[in-house]
Amino acid sequence: MSLYTELRYAGCTLDSHESDLYVRDCTQARAILKANGCIGSIFRSEVDNQLWLDVPFMFEPFWDAKTRQA
């Protein structure tokens, strides 16, 4: 199961920009990232003022669309 899918199934709040995956910072998201050997950079969203984790290049739908275009 991909990181994106695992986070989605766990009910984590997700967002993205281009290929970067954003997940709202919480204990469950951090545990899933750690289990998958990923590290997210913490940032505070200007939209909702919440802490989020930025995981570069891990937004799976972006890559799926790129594959379909090729």
- What pLDDT, on a 0 to 100 scale, did the predictor assign at position 31? 98
Domains in the chain: boundaries: 3-61
Residue in the block written with tokens 């594959």: 67
- What pLDDT, on a 0 to 100 scale, did the predictor assign at position 70? 76
- What pLDDT, on a 0 to 100 scale, did the predictor assign at position 38? 95
**pLDDT, tens only, 6-44:** 999 999 999 999 999 999 999 999 999 999 999 999 999
The pTM (predicted TM-score) of the whole model is 0.92
Contact 12, 45 (CB under 8 A): no
C-alpha distance across the termini of the chain, in Å: 24
Q: Tokens for 65?
A: 């669309």
- What pLDDT, on a 0 to 100 scale, did the predictor assign at position 4? 98
Residue in the block written with tokens 């998958």: 36
Alpha-carbon torsion angle 24, 29, 30, 36, nearest 10: -130
